[in-house]
Amino acid sequence: MLKLFRIITVILSFFFLTGFVPILSFVGPGLTVLTTGNVYKAAAQIMIDQGIKKKTGKNSFALVKEEINKNNQKYKKNKFNEDLRQLVEKRIKITREKLDNQNLQKLVKKRIEITRSILNINSTTQ
Q: Is residue 46 part of a domain?
A: yes
Answer for the pair 60, 49: CB distance below 8 angstroms, yes or no: yes
Burial 49-75 (b: 16+ CB within 10 A, else e): beebbeeeeebbeebeeeeeeeeeeee
Residue 81 burial (10 A CB sphere; 0-12, 13-18, 19+):
exposed
Q: Is residue 9 part of a domain?
A: yes
Task: List the pLDDT tens digit at each of the 126 positions of the chain.
Answer: 788 888 888 877 776 666 655 666 666 666 766 777 677 777 777 788 888 888 888 877 778 888 888 877 777 777 777 888 888 899 999 988 888 888 888 888 888 888 888 887 665 555
Number of domains in the chain: 1
Q: Is residue 101 part of a domain?
A: no
Q: Is residue 79 part of a domain?
A: yes
Domain that holds residue 46: 2-85
Q: Is residue 71 part of a domain?
A: yes
pTM listed for this prediction: 0.33
